[in-house]
Amino acid sequence: MVKESMGFSLEEVNWPKDVERMTDLEKKHSPRIVCPDTVKPGEMFEVKIITGKLLKHPNESGHFIMWTELYAGDRFLGRTQFAPVTTEPETCFIVSLNKSAELIAYSMCNLHGLWKNTVHIEVK
């Protein structure tokens, strides 16, 4: 069931259409990736992912962020599962890369589907 008219889809990955004018739904669900712009090859660094950074997402048993995953391009880096009420949808991965990549974060809301955000990280 596609709910494009409601601002999200349960069949496809969602992301902000215009980052300068995000809707409240986009602000609540878009995973914010916080990491350095540039790292050295093989250097360990932190990638923090916060869902609902711009506008707090509900955190109750009927509506919550279920998990967050991190990829470097197609490569899976990690997943954090969240319990409603008792954990906030924030996580941190310690990562090393050997070449520049798009970091991709996905967050899954139990009511509003899958949401994505990306950042480019330069390795040199």
Residues that bind Fe ion (CB under 5 A): 109, 111-112
| Smallest distance, Fe ion to C-beta of residue 95, A | 27
Q: Closer CB to Fe ion, residue 14 or residue 91? A: 14
CB nearer Fe ion, residue 85 or residue 111: 111
- Minimum distance from residue 64 beta carbon to Fe ion (Å): 8
| 38-39 β-sheet, strand order | 38-39, 113-123, 101-109, 65-72, 75-81
Task: Please say whether the beta carbons of 89 and 107 come within 8 A.
Answer: yes
Q: Tokens 């609902």 identify what position?
A: 52
Instruction: Select 93 or 115, whichever has its Cβ closest to Fe ion.
Output: 115
**Residue 116: CB minimum distance to Fe ion, A:** 14
**Which residues make Cβ contacts (< 8 Å) with residue 76, sequence separation at least 6?**
69
